[in-house]
Chains A and B, each alone.
Chain A
Amino acid sequence: MPKSRIELRFGGTGGQGLVLSAKLLADALALEGRHVAQSQTYEPTSRGGFCNADLVVAAGEVDYPLPVAFDHLVLLDKIAVKPSWPRLKDGALVIADSRLCPELPDGSMRRCHFPLNRTAIELGSERVTNIVALGVLIEMTGLCKRASVEKVIRASSPRGFLDLNMDALAAGYDLAKAPVAAAAS
């Protein structure tokens, strides 16, 4: 049985596709009949500044749509650490980019570093860092079936981005098989 309520965040900086990742995951969960609420906070600039995209997953109707304490946190920029860290649950999973978010505070969480950004660049575009991260998250947590998120990405990818997105997702699955524990800072 899935947990009754799961809360997670994609945190980083504006323009990284954090909201897109959260929406893709939300759509995949909705496809599986789960109740979700997806929210975001961003700065009034089109690029840069702290940005987060949050997701609440519940078995029934979501009473309060905002997260209270995170089960999972994906970090694509160091700017997101400070506002997100105090809201992590004990034992929460933290997935951080090795280059963009190299230092993580200590704590009882499971802290993992991955070369998300580097992998995306090697695939051909930094812009799919968010999709690599999504692949890692899904593989490590089993939040939704691979087939569900793949269906959603197929349905929503712009022409010319589908193959790249699917490659990025698959690269994320592969990365997740060998998580690297983050060093204490």
Chain B
Amino acid sequence: MNAIDRSHAKPAAKLLSGNAACAQGALDAGCTFFAGYPITPSSEIAERLSVLLPKAGGVFIQMEDEIAAMAAVVGASMGGVKALTATSGPGFSLKQENIGYAAGAEIPCVVVNVMRGGPSTGMPTRPSQADIYQTRYGSHGDYPIIVLAPASAREIYDETIRAFDLAEICRTPVILLYDQVIAQSSETVALGGRAPVHATRKWASGPRESYKPYAADADGVPPMPRPGDGYRTHTTGLTHSESGFPSQDPETVTRNLGRLYAKLDHFRDLIDSYEAVRCEDAEVVIVAIGISARAARRAVDACRAEGHKVGLFRPITLWPFPEIALREATQHAKAILVPELNIGQLRLEIERQLRDRRVEGLHLISGEPITPAQIAAAATKLATEV
């Protein structure tokens, strides 16, 4: 999935913000429905799509709030279209109930969360990376979910398309997670000539009489009924059997929830994505996402210039965490440095994955991004200690 064909891209670089790249990626992925409620620093996605979607024959709705927006997206997807919503921290909190519904009822959709300072209203115009666990565990109950964490305008474009692909293929909500700096900074991006990737939904086929809406194929994904095709279906937030009707039968409940996890395991090759920079011989590996990873990339060069063996591991797919790739990238590392704009979130996952290793955090909660110099200083300190 990572191997996106760019061979016929003709660079005609133009200035694009991360949010504008997201809107363009959604259009190119075949998204025809957006429902949302504006919130800084995500509003440019809605603003752009309010102009572009109707022109492309799609539907844009500004809803009364984020709860309704998420509900509309779930409904639109059940109606057979690729659907998107975009928000930031406080709005993302409101969407959680319906994100859980989409995970449980297996409704494909894409949710963008642009991270700003929190908690609560917090710092609307300042970056943060403190929603790492909210994207994974924000809704109640056990459920798997896919979270993608792009780090540039170009990557936001590509990952938005990939988010729609994964949502359709795995029949699951996919969260696109990036910070205010990446969202609102504009970068020269060449998008010319690239044929967008389209995953088509697996529709129900075969005899209508015996159709069961939650009877999965071997890949764990049940085909969805296309409205109008005549398949009887039932969708509920209650635990359900293959018929779609509510069930609390212990065996049925256990099997169904197990299948939700197993289907993502089945597609891990498509889901996993990461970038490893100069990790082959690295004694210190920096693990970072978003703007912190952009700063870390520069810090790696600075440290290498001083003779320190420092590398960068950047998960592009944040959840499920690409743990095999992390272990490979850190096999020679004596210490791991996790710079992030929170009080210690990604660090917890790295500690969990690499229990035998020294893991240090570099945490900034001031509303300012971490600088390359701050990361380089911390990495150099670690490199000289180990």
Q: A-side interface residues toward B, CB under 8 Å?
A: 23, 26-27, 30, 33-44, 62-66, 68
Q: Is the CB of B124 within 8 A of A38?
A: no
A63 and B371: CB pair below 8 A? no
The CA of A44 and the CA of B40, in the complex, are separated in Å by 9
Residue B15 contacts which of A30, A41, A63 (CB distance < 8 angstroms)?
A30
8 Å CB interface, B269-310 against A: 291, 294-295, 297-298, 301
**Across-interface contacts of A26 in B (CB, < 8 A):** 15, 186
**Please, could you name 27 A-B residue pairs with CB atoms under 8 Å apart, sorted by A?**
A26-B15, A26-B186, A30-B14, A30-B15, A30-B188, A33-B13, A35-B13, A35-B187, A35-B188, A36-B186, A37-B185, A37-B187, A38-B185, A39-B186, A41-B126, A43-B125, A44-B40, A44-B123, A62-B187, A62-B188, A65-B187, A65-B294, A66-B185, A66-B294, A66-B369, A66-B371, A68-B372
Q: How many A-B residue pairs have CB under 8 A?
A: 67
Measured in the bound complex, the distance between the Cα atoms of B11 and A34 in whole Å is 12
Contacts of B184 in A (CB 8 A): 39-40
Interface contact A63-B125, CB-CB below 8 Å: no
Pairwise interchain contact A38-B125, C-beta atoms closer than 8 A: no
State the CA gap A157–B5 with chains docked (Å): 37
Point out residues on B near A: beta carbons under 8 Å: 13-15, 40, 123-126, 152, 181, 184-188, 291, 294-295, 297-298, 301, 369, 371-373
Closest chain B CB from A159 CB (angstroms): 18
- Residue from the list A23, A66, A68 in contact with B186, Cβ < 8 A: A23
Cβ distance B14 to chain A, nearest Cβ, rounded Å: 6
Given A30-B14, A44-B40: A68 in contact with B188 (beta carbons within 8 A): no
The reply to whether A64 and B15 contact each other, CB–CB distance below 8 Å, is no
Give, as a whole number of angstroms, the nearest-CB distance from B317 to chain A. Answer: 22
Q: DSSP class of B's interface residues: helix, strand, loop or mixed?
A: mixed
The distance from the CB of B273 to the nearest CB of chain A, in whole angstroms, is: 19
Given A36-B187, A63-B298, A68-B371, answer yes or no on A23-B125 (Cβ-Cβ < 8 Å): no
In the assembled complex, the Cα of A62 lies from the Cα of B371 at a distance in Å of 15
Report whether B15 and A27 are in contact in the complex, using a CB–CB cutoff of 8 Å: yes
> Which 4 pairs show the lowest CB-CB distances between chains A and B?
A39-B185, A64-B298, A38-B186, A44-B124
Q: A65-B152, A65-B294, A66-B371 are in contact. List 14 more A-B contacts (CB 8 A).
A: A33-B13, A34-B188, A35-B188, A38-B15, A42-B125, A44-B123, A62-B188, A63-B301, A64-B297, A66-B185, A66-B291, A66-B294, A68-B372, A68-B373
Q: Please indicate the chain B residues that have their CB under 8 angstroms from the CB of A30 in the complex.
A: 13-15, 188
A62, closest chain B residue (CB)? B187
CB-nearest residue of chain B to A28: B15
In the bound assembly, the distance between CA atoms of A65 and B294 in angstroms comes to 8
Q: Are A64 and B186 in contact (CB under 8 A)?
A: no
From A34, A44, A63, contact of B297 by CB (8 A): A63
Nearest chain A CB to B51's CB is how many angstroms away? 16
Q: What is the distance, in angstroms, from B192's C-beta to the closest C-beta of chain A?
A: 13
Across-interface contacts of A36 in B (CB, < 8 A): 15, 186-188
Cα–Cα distance between A23 and B184 once the two chains are bound (Å): 12
Residues from chain A with Cβ under 8 Å of B124 in the complex:
44
B371 closest partner in A (C-beta): A68
Chain B CB count within 10 A is highest, among A27, A36, A62, A64, for A64
* Of listed B13, B40, B124, residue having the most chain A CB within 10 A: B13
Chain B residue contacts of A66, Cβ below 8 A: 181, 185, 291, 294-295, 369, 371
